[in-house]
Amino acid sequence: MNAMNTHYPEPVRVEAVNRHTLAVVVDNEPGALARISGMFSGRGYNIESLTVSETEEARHISRITIVTTGTNAVIEQIKAQLDRLVSVHRVVDLTLQGNALEREICLVKVKGEGEHRSEALRLAAAFGAKTLDATLNSFVFELTGATEEIDRFVRLMSVIGLVEICRTGIAAMSRGAEPL
């Protein structure tokens, strides 16, 4: 029996699953990204978005931005396990720092003629999308913005004649003068 002398089980607590953006500074060496992604897959964690690029050429340092979801305990475990990897210098949870700037680039190919063509151009202008390619029956637009804004643009273009999408994933940076 439980603490209240009843035969009913204790209610199950359900923790909220939150989205977190992690910035990871690593040595730019062969296998570093494979070790990080292997850590995620080996423990059953999901990566929603992953971007990586060398940021300090002289020191061979890269910055990886990972978007993942989990309970607070899972996120803490992910950060601790990332921090233990040999090539990792620093792990920062930009979500906990608050007010991080997050942007994504998306290329969207849309087909359309007549009214659909002019509607695609009107929507692109309203969202501030840049036209990279235009033919008599299609466009390729480039849009940079928050994930939610890109999702809205894609939903609207799907009504017009969406053909193809290519997204970079999230690049994020904390506000202010302090470096990572």
Per-residue pLDDT of the chain (180 residues; tens, 9 = 90+): 555 677 778 777 788 899 999 999 999 999 999 999 999 999 999 999 999 999 999 999 999 999 999 999 999 999 999 999 989 999 999 999 888 999 999 999 999 888 999 999 999 999 999 999 999 999 999 999 999 999 999 999 999 999 999 999 999 999 998 888
CA distance 79 to 39: 11
CB 99 within 8 A of CB 174: yes
For residue 46, the SS3 value is coil
For residue 27, the SS3 value is strand
- pTM for the full predicted model: 0.84
CA distance 53 to 28: 9
Quote the tokens at residue 108: 């969207």
